[in-house]
Amino acid sequence: MLYNHHPYILLTLWITMAQLGGQEEKEKTTALKDLLSRIDLDELMKKDEPPLNFPKTLEEFEYAFNEKGQLRHTKTGEPFVFNYREDLHRWNQKRYEALGEIITKHIYELLENECNLKKEFLPVDATENEPKSFIFLSEDALSNPDKLLVLIHGSGVVRAGQWARRLIINEDLESGTQIPFIKRATKEGYGVIVLNPNENYIEVEKEKKPVQLTSDSLDEPAEKRERKDEKEPKKRRDFYEKYRNPQKEKETEQISIRDNSSPEEHVIYVWDNFIAKSSAKNIFFVAHSYGGVSFVELMIQREAEVKNRICAVALTDSVHSVWHQEAGKPILEWMQEHCCNWVSSIEALDTPIETMLPDCPRVSAGTERHELTSWRSFHSIFKFFSEALETQNSEAKQPAAVATRSSNRIKHEDF
């Protein structure tokens, strides 16, 4: 009866109920947003997380490199497992990073013990308590009168002697480190300098600053202030209790290493203090990824010296930009003649790759994996260096021969 005579009443009632329901949903949404805004997602990820205490040596990790240079578990013989604990990505990542630091120290030992390189600290005039970096040099790096090879890795976590940490851990030492380059260079009579462009700072633990009381808080009665301090932390603790993990990482700050605070600065510093002072007639560079950026910056800052001393440069999947870095035309012309970039590609090794860029020729590294480009182009790079040296020597002989003929002719005429 109500429906037949007063349909508008039902309609009004429905609208009112809908509005009330909508209001209720709105309030729920607001409450949910408030809840989410108060939850620290980083803390949430730490829920039920085991302590971030990891082994300090390969032996304690129960891993070792076998005769093929592959990292294997000492008991199971299995490769490294990243997801050691499921659903704990952050903890697994921290474990991986801890292993990476041990790997870095292991590579340093190999550079000194297997490759017979020595560590040289930077800056060269550093005081005892000053932050320091270092590079590695062969015994004849500065005295070799013939050839010098300089190696520059890319950006990220890699350090001196490495191309890619991922390859060292998941593949082998040959593909992931610079050791094959160093050994072959030594065998072929090169001096060697291994740069360390990512070692730009040291980390120190932050000192906790004392809590500064404001003038307003000092004006409060002590009893009221104490009750307030007790109540607020308890409220927060209660709210976060189900999400919070008591484990906290130390807060650190970075202190830059003088004259080596960036990869580019490091390369220029090593050039000025070591490479430029070497006796080698012919200098060769291998620069991977961001190492190419550092090399181009070196060219821009030390153009005349670089052109005079460097014979050839092998870039491997370099990410340099001659436009962004504002390399001039003379530099581009020099790079066309003296550089080659082995880039990631599906094409066969050494296949020319078309490019619109005006800097240097590009050829395939024979792999689509960026981190593998240095290793896959290993033999091609040394062939490229040999050919560049032959070309340079033949060009050097021609003027000498002309000068000799001219000199002989003058002597003959004098008679």
pLDDT tens string 131-145: 999 999 999 999 999
What's the CA gap between 176 and 111, in Å, rounded?
Answer: 14
Instruction: Reply yes or no on whether 289 is catalytic.
Output: yes
The answer as to whether 19 is a domain residue is no
Q: Three-class SS of residue 146?
A: coil
Question: What's the number of domains the chain is made of?
Answer: 2
Is residue 405 over pLDDT 60? no
43-54 average pLDDT score: 68
H-helix segments, 83-196: 89-113, 165-170, 173-176, 179-187
User: What b/e sequence results for 175-192 when a residue is b if at least 16 CB atoms lie within 10 Å of its CB, and e otherwise?
Assistant: bbbbbbbbeebbeeebbb
Domain that holds residue 391: 117-200+257-398
What's the CA gap between 364 and 366, in Å, rounded?
Answer: 5
What is the per-residue pLDDT for 206?
A: 76
Q: In terms of domains, do 249 and 336 share one?
A: no
What is the per-residue pLDDT for 411?
A: 32
Phi, psi at residue 80, to the nearest 5°? Answer: -60, 135
Given 138, 289, 344, 380, which residue is catalytic?
289
Q: Three-class SS of residue 144?
A: coil
What is the per-residue pLDDT for 207?
A: 73
Tens digit of each residue's pLDDT (9 = 90 or more) over 300-356: 999 999 999 999 999 999 999 877 888 889 999 999 999 999 999 999 999 999 987
Q: In terms of domains, do 351 and 232 share one?
A: no
CATH of the domain at 272: 3.40.50.1820
Q: In terms of domains, do 261 and 315 share one?
A: yes
Q: In terms of domains, do 109 and 121 share one?
A: no
Kindly state the percentage of the chain with pLDDT values over 90: 61
What's the CA gap between 311 and 334, in Å, rounded?
Answer: 11
What is the per-residue pLDDT for 214?
A: 52
Q: In terms of domains, do 192 and 246 share one?
A: no
Distances (CA, A) of 292 to 148, 152, 198, 248: 18, 8, 14, 38
167-182 average pLDDT score: 97
> Whole-number mean pLDDT of the chain?
83
